Amino acid sequence: MLASVIGTCYLAALAMMDALRREVAVWILWVGSAAALISATILLAGGKASWPELIFGAVPGLLMLAVAGFTKEAGPGDGIVLLQMNFFLLLNRVIFAFGMSLVIMGAFSAVLLLLRKGKKDTRLPYLPFLWLGSLGAICLCG
């Protein structure tokens, strides 16, 4: 649980940075990657996570990195952060957070379109929605 709280606080800082500047500093991603590896080591050593769980939990982050690489519609930082969150939230929560973030972002986009505040090509920062999804995952996934 402590890893989830630390990861969510880290993600909150990144979400604010992404919302305000539409980018995330590379040095913060390095710090987050180191923290994620430490978290994974502790979880593995304590028997709270398994290698398959960590490997399969990386799939959403890898998908986001692939989208960033092929379409240039998402930033690679989004995929890196989603990969990091796997080591804080673990498999069930990271998949739930990823799905929930996409649903919340889609609903927000629909509201913007209905209110005529956005267009079909309006770009939104992803990390604030991932943060909301991770909060939902912590609250709803035990």
Per-residue pLDDT of the chain (142 residues; tens, 9 = 90+): 677 788 888 889 988 988 888 888 888 889 989 998 998 898 889 888 888 888 888 888 888 888 888 887 777 888 888 888 888 888 888 889 899 999 999 999 888 888 888 777 778 888 999 999 999 988 887 6
Residue ranges making up the domain that contains 81: 2-140
Contact call for residues 136 and 95 (beta carbons, < 8 A): no
- Amino acid 49 reads A
Contact call for residues 101 and 129 (beta carbons, < 8 A): yes
Distance CA 47, CA 115 (A): 49
Torsion of CA 41, 46, 48, 51, to 10 degrees: 50
Check residue 85 and give its pLDDT. 87
Check residue 142 and give its pLDDT. 65
Check residue 79 and give its pLDDT. 86
Please tell me the total count of domains within the chain.
1
Check residue 47 and give its pLDDT. 86
Angle between helix 26-45 and helix 2-21 axes, rounded to 10 deg = 170
- How many Å from the N-terminal Cα to the C-terminal Cα in the chain? 9
